[in-house]
Amino acid sequence: MRAMRQAHLRDVDLNLLHALHALLAERHVTRAAKRCFLSQPAMSRALDRLRQMFGDLLLVRSGRAYERTGRGERVLRELESLMPRLEAMVRGEEFDPARSPERFRVAITDHAAMVLMPPLMERIRTAAANVHVDASAWNDRVYEEVAAGRIDTALSAEAPPPALETEVLYEEDFVCLVGRAQQSRTRRFTLKEYLDLPHAIVETWGGQQTPVDRPLAERGLRRRAVLRLPFFVPTIFMVARSDLVLTVPRRLGKIAAATADVRLVEPPHEIKGFSYFMAWHPRLTPEADHAWFRDQLRTAARSIRTK
């Protein structure tokens, strides 16, 4: 691949931007062609032109698919934030929730998907039936994805980095779930009881300590974990049929007690609550569509705070 010549925007065919975005996002020529309503040969020709334009392969073959080159990764990060703004500029319209087909990309933790998403989607389906919400599972790279423009809004109990805009949606504390095989009939565990019992632990934190384990670790203590899973829902139903203890956010615990054969037990006083955050990149702060979406999240959070 020859080195890229000195390029100017006036020399760039802007029609290729959609093809470039699709190719880098899909990493597959046929899927990118379908996304852009082009034939596969036309998309292949577009890839050839883009490689010449950038002086870089952008995509390299890996088995039956492609992998992005380093340059391709950087270009995709820029396009993820650039393309929505270009489309909004070309449309030249004020944001109208009732008519907008906007797509909001959200990263959310497992428990909040059960607690916060129902009232959020109830509001959105009523006020903005054409709006799409793409929710992805939380992972330890989410805040990097927000900074890169691949995620619009992140929802988590993990405090966001200073570079992102942050707002506390609600405060939460914990409750324990126990199933039919757990013989303890106490209403609140002492710290000793809690540490002696076998625990199921849900880890959504990418190897980091959970908000339950941090205060224990500060005291040099740890739970007796016999099961670790990444999701709350299957763990709840598994605990219902075992002697394990599962510590969950209280609002999720109330849902679980109403739907699964589990009962609630208060945790030791040493187990404290936590704040649940909404985070976004500052570039989205003035955008009317994203401001509207954040307001829907605030309203949904207020609705669960009153329950």
Q: What are 100-120's pLDDT values in tens digits?
A: 889 999 999 888 999 999 999
Residue 173 structure tokens: 């504390």
pLDDT tens for 129-173 read 999 999 999 888 999 999 999 999 999 988 899 999 999 999 999
Q: Is the pLDDT of residue 94 over 80?
A: no
* Residues of the chain above pLDDT 90, percent: 64
Q: What pLDDT score does 4 carry?
A: 45
Distance CA 109, CA 29 (A): 33
Q: pTM here?
A: 0.68
Would you report the helix, strand and coil content of the chain in percent, each value rounded to 5? Answer: 45, 20, 35
Beta strand extents in 90-179 (DSSP E only): 103-108, 132-137, 153-156, 165-172, 174-178
DSSP 8-state code for residue 188: B
Residue-wise pLDDT for 212-235, tens only, equals 988 899 999 999 999 999 889 999
Judge whether 297 and 131 are in contact, CB under 8 Å.
no
Q: How confident is the model over 72-83, as a mean pLDDT? A: 86
Taken in order of first residue, the domains within the chain and their CATH numbers are 9-91 (1.10.10.10), 103-169+277-305 (3.40.190.10), 174-272 (3.40.190.10)
